[in-house]
Amino acid sequence: MKKLIAILMLCVTTVLAGPVGSTSEWGIVIQPCAWCGKTNDIEVHHIIPQAECKRIGKPELIYDTNNMVCLCRTGGKGCHFYIGHHGVSWDYVFTNVMIVIKEGKK
C-alpha cells in the first residue's frame, strides 16, 4: 500500500504546471525554466519536498512559493530531473538546487 501511495504521489507532483504566466495549483506564477529558459513542459519543483515538509512538521512549506522553482521536463526528464533531483532519481532530495541554478547563471 505504501508503494502505491508513493507512486500516486509521484504522478500527482509531476503534472505539468501550465503555460508560462498562468498560476499553478500551488499558487506560483509559472515562469520559464529557471535553468535553461524553456517555456514549454514546465513543472513546479518543491525545493524541500512535500513529504519532507510534512515530516519536519512544516506542512505550510508545501504552498510557500519560496519553496518552489519552475523547471522544464522537456524530453521526459529535462531540467526538473537533472537539476531539481541532481540526476540521481525522482526520489532524491536535492535541497541545493537554487545554489546550482544561481551558480550556473554566472
84: pLDDT confidence band, cut at 50, 70 and 90? very high
Q: What is the DSSP string of 4-57?
A: HHHHHHHHHHTS---STTSB-TTSPBP-S-TTT---SSEEEEESS-HHHHHHTT
| pTM of this prediction exceeds 0.85 | no
* Predicted confidence (pLDDT) per residue in 29-68, tens digit: 889 999 999 998 999 999 999 999 999 999 999 999 999 9
For the chain, domain boundaries: 2-104
